[in-house]
Amino acid sequence: MRVVDKQEIKIYKKEFFDKINSGRIFIYPTDTIYGLGCDATNQQAVGKLREAKERVSNPFSVIAPSKDWIKNHCEVTKDHLSLLPGPVTLILKLKNKNAIAGNVNNEMQTLGVRIPEHWISDVVSDLGKPIVTTSVNKQGEEFMVDLDSINSDIKGKIDFTIYEGEKIGKPSKIINTVSNEVIQR
């Protein structure tokens, strides 16, 4: 697993975008915790990520490349969009099932969407497509806070990690706009 920083991502952006577009799995920082991701439009990449996390059925969320992407593919209000960017995941009704690989949300009618208040959102915007966002851990285990806390099984399946030091946070607040439920973790 290659470990890089923000500067390397900027300098070698094309190389890393090629890796993401070819289905690689990677770790990245957000405004809350480290995320585990891949190209959310690539069925095989999402399958590899599910295998790495041992998460067979629960849906994943995505980091959207822009608010326009969200408006084009999901049912969303201006009030909900005003919460982004920030430490929030919006569960929205999905208008366009082809916007993501079917195994991201397991063909559900909803999709969790984030835009972190973090420079990683600019990277996703430049990539021009959504990436899966989920915590770096196997289901039921503690999530990654630093390089030493990555589950060894997951670590062996990661192509690269964008690292910015220890990150002690908590996952984003989930606002389900369909059921009007808020989950604070």
CATH code for the domain of 15: 3.90.870.10
Which residues pair with residue 36 across a beta bridge?
A: 27, 134
Give the number of other Cβ atoms within 10 Å of residue 156's Cβ: 10
Amino acid 41: pLDDT: 98
Q: 0.75 exceeded by the pTM?
A: yes
Domain range for 21 is: 2-183
3-class SS letters over the chain: CEEECHHHHHHCHHHHHHHHHCCCCEEECCCCCCEEECECCCHHHHHHHHHHHCCCCCCCEEECCCHHHHHHHEECCHHHHCCCCCCEEEEEEECCHHHCCCCCCCCCCEEEEECCCCCHHHHHHHHCCCEEEEECCCCCCCCCCCHHHCCHHHHCCCCEEECCCCCCCCCCEEEECCCCEEECC
- pLDDT > 70 fraction of the chain, expressed in percent and rounded: 99
Amino acid 13: pLDDT: 96
Mean pLDDT rounded to a whole number for the chain? 95
Question: Looking at the 3D structure of the chain, how many domains does it have?
Answer: 1
Confidence of residue 116 (pLDDT cuts 50, 70, 90): very high
Give the number of other Cβ atoms within 10 Å of residue 82's Cβ: 9
Amino acid 56: pLDDT: 83
Joined tokens for residue 40: 């959310």
Rounded to 5°, the CA angle 152-158-161 comes to 100
Average pLDDT over residues 55-68: 94
Amino acid 43: pLDDT: 97
